[in-house]
Each structure stands twice: as structure tokens, then as C-alpha cells.
């Protein structure tokens, strides 16, 4: 092609660049993209200052435990329809969470996500009695507003847990409907002799009767009306909702709920607990809890999945679900329903590799309180233990490592808002995060295998300069770029997060005329 013929093509490319740059700038302005999320169980995060005065809030059969106690699995009570450990409390509340926000902010979190705070009977509050009230063990709506205001002053956000697929068996609405076929709440639930306990319940847990979302009045109460649950808490200062078992709510009602939230507070976040493959759940929700990516990360770290297969799976998911949606989705390795990370992955190399992937793949890293300290726990309720504040300190290597990853994720623009593409590798999981600026480029290389891998990886980025080094953000090691190839040697379980060295010193840079 002649130089004259190339001019229109160059003009087209130049015209496209500002729009591309604008897209990345727009992503940066949206707090939901690539945010670091910190999850807290209100009862277990920090002990209340006035714990002795709160004892009356835990009448029998509830039990108030000492903060030093560890949760242990109890037995099922066929009368109460719950396990006994669901009625054991540790005394945390909203004011005590506020008292520890310095820690959450210093850790680097952008978002505080609270497990349910609405009025409910159990300690976990997934059995709502009344969504519009805060459980007295936790405080009041005024306490929640104060927490939101405090977070906003710090430049942080608040996401609440919405449990809208089911209520609790002890909810006055359900009890009235159960006993009276003529109750105005009869159509709020689905009754029938074929159901254990007489009503359709979530996975047949009798304490969790499902709401009949097909009944319009229920939808108005939850999200349709101006004073509905979803809308009113957003007006009180919440910035979004994580929706419990969102997969059970379904596409139509999730779409309606998301629209109601966005109409009430533009830019609010709706994240669905959706364990399915994420592709088709957008735009019914803004993001998902990315169970698929979690499975890939953990299987890869544990050497149950080859790097090449993991790479193909991740690439397909990114292509089909879309980066815009995945940036708002939460990448979690553990939470209140799973084994804690330090229990699931006891090999430190595997655990650290999984965490590097959590903070470098497209999405919002979601941390479960205390896992940054090395807290352990296998099954419910062991993984819901009270926060180990006595483990917080500069000598906690797990905490320092997590802080390093958080700071790296926040510092490197491409990790927060960048696009994704695979690098070409035979034995490593190798991928690139990139934006419109070459200086933002991040190349991630991970070796989940059993032996050291020495390999030349091709990076299909024409703006990365020959012979200029890439610098590992985890170790400081420099690796030269040779005509699009990066040769590295990675030990089993090792990872590198490489960024271009724009100038090796002396004022010269080969990057002076690339975007």
C-alpha cells in the first residue's frame, strides 16, 4: 500500500482513538468498575461498645456468645425449623462497624458490603421478618444512614444484601397467611399440601418460605413503589444491592428491580448471586458474583485444571459476557457460604497464585472479612467466626500481602478498567490487561504447574518496545521484551505482574511517540 493510500486509514484510526479514550475515561468515572469490595457479617465484625446493655436483645432461645468463642455447628430443631447455631450471636452492630471504618479504608476497600441487616430472627438474617426495619441487635435505620454518610465522607460506598426470593417463617405476613386463607397476604406466598410445612420454601428449608413474585403487590412492596424496600434504602444512603439467590428471582424480575434501583439512584449497583455461567444475566443485573471465574481460579491454583484450558475458558467468558459487565462483577475466593481461603488452599503458593488472579482478572475483587488476616473455617458456621482483631498488625504476613495486592490493583489503571486478551503461551496462564495508553499495559504470567516453566511468551501489543524491560510489580524483577516475546522462568505456583519500564534512566524513552 502506498503512503498516499494509507493516509485515509491513518485518519480513521486517529479519529477512533478519542472515542476509545473516552470509553476508558467513562469506565474510570463509574465507581462500580474494578472496585475493591469488603464483605462484613454485622454480628461478627466488631463487638458492640455497650454489649452488656444489649443482652436483653437476645432472649432465649437466642444465645449471646463471648467474642473469644468460635462458632460450632449445632443440631436441627424440628419445632423452630432452624439449626441451633443460627440463634447464637456475638454482638456486633452498625455502630461498632462504624468504629472500625479506619481499618477498612486503610486496607484499601472502596465498597463496604453488609450481609443482611433487616429485621429477622436468626443471626444471619436471611429469614426476613420485615425488610423495612433494621434488626434491633444491629441498630436502627438512623444508624444505617449514619454509616452510609460516614462511608461517603471517606469516598467509599455501601452495598446492602437484598434477600427478596424468600422471607422467614416467623414473618407476621407469612404467619397470618398460613393461618387465614382469607388473609390479604395469602397470595404473597405459595401454599399447598405438596410442600413441607405447607408452603413452597427455598430448597425446602421450611424456615425460608418463598415470596410469590408473580403477585404484583409483592413486587410493588419490594421494588416498585416509591417507598419500596429497594428504593427507600437507596434514598437512605445505600449505593446498591447484592441480591441473594438472584438466580431464583429470574431475568424478568431482576430487570424490573435493576431499573427501579437505577431510576431511584442513577449509577447504583445491582449484583446478583448467580452461580450459573454469567453471559445471559446481563443487563438484568449490573454484575454477578462470578462463581464461574472463582471455579476456574481455584481449580487452576490447585492444579486440577491445566493453564491452557483455564485460558480458553476465561477468554470465552470475557468475550461472551463482556468486559463492561465483568468489571462490575465481584471476583470472590471465599465468603460466608464457602470454606475460608486459608482452609480451602493450605499451600501458600497456590493461595497466593489464586489471589494474584483475583486482583488481575477483569472484575471487582471481593474480600471476606478476616481472610486477609489468615482466618480459617471449613463449613457453616465455622467460616463465620468473629473478626480476629488481635491478629491485625504489621507482622501479619497475610495482611501485608493482601495490602500489596490491593494497592497494586488500585494503582494500575488497566487492572481496574482495562480490557483483556490472552498472551500466547504453552504452559503458563498468560494474559494482558490494557487501555488506550501503552503505559497502562499489564502482562500477567502464572505457573500453576508442578515444575518450573521456562518459556517465551508472545505479547500481541505492537506498542511494547523491543529491548525495553517489563517490571514485575510483585518482586521488582526486570524482564526484557524481545520483538514481542517475553522469556521468563517461573517456579511452580509463581506469578508475575509485569508493566512496561517507560524509561530506564538518563531521560531517554522509546515510548515517546506511542499512545
Cβ atoms < 10 Å from Cβ of 271: 27
Q: Residue 11 has what pLDDT?
A: 45
The per-residue DSSP string of 162-183 comes to: E--SB--TT-HHHHHHHH-TT-
Q: Residue 21 has what pLDDT?
A: 87
Find the distance separating the first CA and the last CA of the chain, reported in whole Å: 24
**Is 244 among the residues known to form the active site?**
yes
Cell numbers standing for residue 356: 494474584
pLDDT tens-place values along the chain, 515 residues long: 554 454 444 444 444 445 588 999 999 999 999 999 999 999 999 999 988 889 999 999 999 999 999 999 999 999 999 999 999 999 999 999 999 999 999 999 999 999 999 999 999 999 999 999 999 999 999 999 999 999 999 999 999 999 999 999 999 999 999 999 999 999 999 999 999 999 999 999 999 999 999 999 999 999 999 999 999 999 999 999 999 999 999 999 999 999 999 999 999 999 999 999 999 999 999 999 999 999 999 999 999 999 999 999 999 999 999 999 999 999 999 999 999 999 999 999 999 999 999 999 999 999 999 999 999 999 999 999 999 999 999 999 999 999 999 999 999 999 999 999 999 999 999 999 999 999 999 999 999 999 999 999 999 999 999 989 999 999 999 999 999 999 999 999 999 999 999 988 878 998 989 99
Cell numbers standing for residue 184: 390479604
Integer Rg of the chain from CA: 25
Nearest Cα residue to 95 out of 76, 73, 74, 117 = 117
**Is 149 among the residues known to form the active site?**
no
Q: Residue 16 has what pLDDT?
A: 41
Q: Residue 18 has what pLDDT?
A: 52
Cβ atoms < 10 Å from Cβ of 263: 11
The per-residue DSSP string of 217-254 comes to: HHHIIIIISTTSHHHHHHHTT--EEEETTHHHH-HHHH
Q: What are phi and psi of 501, to 5 degrees?
A: -85, 105
Q: Residue 17 has what pLDDT?
A: 47
Distance in angstroms (rounded) separating the CA atoms of residues 449 and 263? 48
CATH topology for 31-416 is TIM Barrel (3.20.20)
Distance in angstroms (rounded) separating the CA atoms of residues 372 and 42? 17
Distance in angstroms (rounded) separating the CA atoms of residues 41 and 166? 19
Q: Residue 52 has what pLDDT?
A: 84
- 273, 324, 419, 432: the active-site residue: 273
112: Cα separation from own chain's centroid: 10
Q: Residue 50 has what pLDDT?
A: 85
Distance in angstroms (rounded) separating the CA atoms of residues 202 and 491? 46
Cell numbers standing for residue 389: 482483631
What are the pLDDT digits (tens) for 347-402? Answer: 999 999 999 999 999 999 999 999 999 999 999 999 999 999 999 999 999 999 99
What are the pLDDT digits (tens) for 459-483? Answer: 999 999 998 999 999 999 999 999 9
**In the chain, domain spans:** 31-416
Polymer length of the chain: 515
Residue 110 DSSP label: S
CB 289 within 8 A of CB 333: no
- 43, 86, 244, 334: the active-site residue: 244
Helix (H) or strand (E) holding 300: helix 291-301
pTM: 0.95
Amino acid at each position: 500500500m502506498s503512503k498516499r493510500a494509507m493516509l485515509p486509514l491513518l485518519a480513521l484510526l486517529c479519529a477512533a482513538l478519542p472515542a476509545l479514550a473516552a470509553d476508558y475515561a467513562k469506565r474510570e468515572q463509574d465507581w462500580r468498575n474494578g472496585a475493591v469490595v469488603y464483605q462484613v457479617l454485622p454480628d461478627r465484625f466488631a463487638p458492640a461498645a455497650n454489649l452488656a446493655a444489649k443482652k436483653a436483645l437476645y432472649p432465649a432461645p437466642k444465645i449471646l456468645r463471648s467474642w473469644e468463642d468460635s462458632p460450632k455447628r449445632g443440631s436441627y430443631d424440628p419445632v423452630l425449623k432452624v439449626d441451633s447455631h443460627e440463634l447464637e450471636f456475638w454482638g456486633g452492630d452498625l455502630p461498632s462497624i462504624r468504629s472500625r471504618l479506619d481499618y477498612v479504608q486503610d486496607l484499601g476497600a472502596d465498597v463496604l458490603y453488609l450481609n443482611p441487616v433487616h429485621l429477622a430472627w436468626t443471626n444471619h438474617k436471611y429469614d426476613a421478618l420485615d425488610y423495612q426495619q433494621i434488626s434491633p441487635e444491629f441498630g436502627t435505620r438512623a444508624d444505617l444512614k449514619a454509616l452510609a454518610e460516614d462511608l461517603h465522607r471517606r469516598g467509599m460506598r455501601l452495598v446492602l444484601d437484598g434477600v427478596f426470593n424468600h422471607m422467614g417463617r416467623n414473618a407476621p405476613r407469612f404467619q397470618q397467611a398460613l393461618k387465614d386463607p382469607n388473609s390479604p397476604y395469602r397470595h404473597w406466598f405459595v401454599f399447598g399440601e405438596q410442600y413441607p410445612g405447607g408452603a413452597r420454601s427455598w430448597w425446602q428449608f421450611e424456615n425460608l418460605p418463598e415470596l410469590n413474585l408473580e403477585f404484583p403487590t409483592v413486587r410493588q412492596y419490594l421494588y416498585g413503589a416509591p417507598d419500596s424496600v429497594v428504593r427507600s434504602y437507596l434514598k437512605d444512603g445505600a449505593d446498591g444491592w447484592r441480591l441473594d439467590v438472584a438466580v431464583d428471582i429470574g431475568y424478568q424480575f431482576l430487570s424490573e428491580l435493576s431499573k427501579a434501583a437505577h431510576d431511584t439512584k442513577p449509577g447504583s449497583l445491582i449484583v446478583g448471586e448467580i452461580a450459573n455461567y454469567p453471559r445471559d444475566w446481563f443487563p438484568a443485573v449490573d454484575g454477578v458474583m462470578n462463581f464461574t471465574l472463582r471455579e476456574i481460579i481455584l481449580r487452576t491454583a490447585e492444579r486440577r485444571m491445566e493453564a491452557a484450558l483455564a485460558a480458553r475458558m476465561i477468554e470465552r467468558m470475557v468475550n461472551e459476557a463482556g468486559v463492561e459487565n465483568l468489571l462490575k462483577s465481584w471476583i470472590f475466593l471465599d465468603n460466608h457460604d464457602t470454606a475460608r481461603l486459608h482452609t480451602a488452599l493450605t499451600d501458600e503458593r497456590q493461595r497466593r497464585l489464586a489471589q494474584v488472579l483475583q486482583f488481575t482478572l477483569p472484575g471487582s475483587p471481593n474480600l471476606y472479612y478476616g481472610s486477609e488476616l489468615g482466618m480459617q473455617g471449613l463449613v457453616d458456621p465455622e467460616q463465620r467466626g468473629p473478626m480476629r482483631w488481635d491478629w491485625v498488625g504489621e507482622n501479619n504476613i497475610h495482611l501485608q500481602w493482601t495490602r500489596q495486592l490491593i494497592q497494586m490493583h488500585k494503582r494500575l489503571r488497566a487492572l481496574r478498567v482495562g480490557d483483556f486478551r490472552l498472551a500466547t503461551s504453552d504452559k503458563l496462564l498468560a494474559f494482558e490487561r490494557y487501555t488506550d495508553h501503552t503505559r497502562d499495559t499489564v502482562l500477567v504470567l502464572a505457573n500453576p504447574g508442578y515444575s518450573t516453566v521456562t518459556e517465551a511468551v508472545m505479547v500481541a501489543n505492537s506498542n511494547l518496545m523491543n529491548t525495553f524491560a517489563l517490571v514485575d510489580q510483585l518482586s521488582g524483577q526486570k524482564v526484557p521484551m524481545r520483538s514481542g516475546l517475553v522469556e521468563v522462568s517461573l517456579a511452580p505456583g509463581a506469578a508475575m505482574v509485569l508493566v512496561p519500564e517507560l524509561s530506564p534512566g538518563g531521560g531517554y524513552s522509546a515510548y515517546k511517540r506511542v499512545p
